[in-house]
């Protein structure tokens, strides 16, 4: 049994704005949250300075978007001086939280010792102005992180990537993430082709009666990015209930195969509206596309595929 997400269209739903100095070259890897009957998108954008910033757009139907003219998050500190990347937004107890990747200069010592990529968390009450909180880990290149949309026994829960694996981590306050509260969740599957090299988390996990639907991406030895899905235990997400062997989405359209980075579909957003899951993704690190599926169909595939 196989399963494939349905592309909404053969064309992107958001493309670079040639009139903008900060999003004229690439718009990609968006987060989307459905709140107050509106779709709210935060997306990574690059102008010709190659610095990533995070823009904001809003939609009534999830397809047609109105953008703010200025980014809502841009580099302010040395540790993110080369860009703020790949947002993922969720709502927890009335507060919006964004995880994003801070890209800064490589250092041997100091706050980002051991690498130039820092997995940051920020918060907001209005989706526009953001207050930085803290990174999940320091001293290593770590990204593809997101929060679960509720707490577990009073504790926050996050996924993050220590290449080539996805890890799970608990925190009492979002400020302190102890190594003793982290564990490896899943990784590449040897001799499985599409996900045998490295894996990373996608958007915010979706809670269902059968467990947490968790989307992820993987790339193979040819550099092709594909999307997969798994089911985690509803009360203890450190337990993987089932992980189908096949991908559910892969590059096919020209704008997914050719772009700033070829052969890439990379998603930070998989939101449930009614019984439909909207999966927003970056195509070849250049534009934004949309795919969909029915929740019931996907859960059935994960359990039986």
- How does pLDDT run across 142-198, given as a tens digit for each residue? 999 999 999 999 999 999 999 999 999 999 999 999 999 999 999 999 888 999 999
pLDDT number for residue 191: 85
pLDDT number for residue 139: 84
Residue 282 and residue 94: Cα distance in Å, rounded?
Answer: 28
Closest CA to 255 of 6, 4, 14: 14
Q: Above 60 in pLDDT, residue 112?
A: no
pLDDT number for residue 192: 85
Query: Region 227-247: what's the mean pLDDT?
Result: 98
- Domain hosting 272: range is 6-304
Domain assignment present for residue 19? The answer is: yes
Q: What is the pLDDT of residues 22-54, one digit of tens each?
A: 999 999 999 999 999 999 999 999 999 999 999
pLDDT number for residue 246: 97
Could you give the number of structural domains in the chain? 1
pLDDT number for residue 47: 97
Domain assignment present for residue 50? The answer is: yes
Out of 81-90, 108-117, 252-261, pick the least confident: 108-117
Whole-number CA gyration radius for the chain = 18
Domain assignment present for residue 43? The answer is: yes
Mean pLDDT of the chain: 95
> Which CATH number fits the domain that encloses residue 256?
2.115.10.20
Q: 88: part of which helix (H) or strand (E)? A: strand 83-92
Residue 254: helix, strand or coil by DSSP?
helix
Domain assignment present for residue 1? The answer is: no
């Amino acid at each position: 049994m196989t399963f494939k997400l349905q592309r909404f269209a053969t064309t992107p739903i958001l493309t670079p704005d040639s009139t903008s100095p900060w999003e004229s070259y690439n718009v990609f890897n968006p987060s989307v949250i459905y709140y107050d009957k509106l779709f709210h998108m935060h997306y990574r954008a690059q102008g010709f300075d190659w610095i990533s910033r995070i823009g904001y757009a809003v939609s009534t139907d999830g397809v047609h978007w109105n953008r703010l003219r200025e980014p809502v998050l841009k580099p302010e500190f040395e540790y993110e001086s080369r860009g703020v990347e790949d947002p993922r937004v969720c709502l927890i107890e009335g507060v919006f939280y964004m995880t994003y990747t801070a890209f800064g200069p490589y250092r041997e010592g100091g706050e980002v010792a051991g690498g130039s990529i820092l997995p940051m968390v920020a918060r907001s009450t209005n989706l526009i102005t953001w207050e930085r909180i803290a990174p999940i880990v320091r001293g290593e290149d770590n990204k593809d992180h997101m929060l679960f949309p509720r707490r577990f026994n009073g504790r926050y829960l996050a996924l993050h990537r220590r290449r080539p694996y996805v890890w799970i981590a608990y925190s009492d306050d979002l400020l302190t993430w102890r190594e003793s509260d982290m564990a490896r969740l899943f990784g590449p599957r040897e001799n499985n082709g599409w996900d045998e090299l490295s894996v990373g988390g996608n958007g915010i996990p979706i809670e269902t009666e059968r467990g947490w639907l968790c989307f992820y991406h993987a790339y193979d030895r040819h550099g092709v990015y594909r999307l997969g899905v798994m089911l985690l235990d509803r009360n203890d997400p450190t337990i993987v209930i089932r992980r189908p062997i096949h991908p559910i989405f892969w590059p096919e359209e020209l704008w997914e195969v050719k772009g700033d980075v070829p052969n890439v579909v990379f998603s930070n957003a998989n939101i449930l509206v009614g019984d439909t899951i909207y999966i927003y993704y970056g195509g070849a690190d250049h534009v934004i596309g949309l795919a969909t599926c029915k929740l019931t169909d996907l859960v059935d595939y994960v359990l039986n595929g």
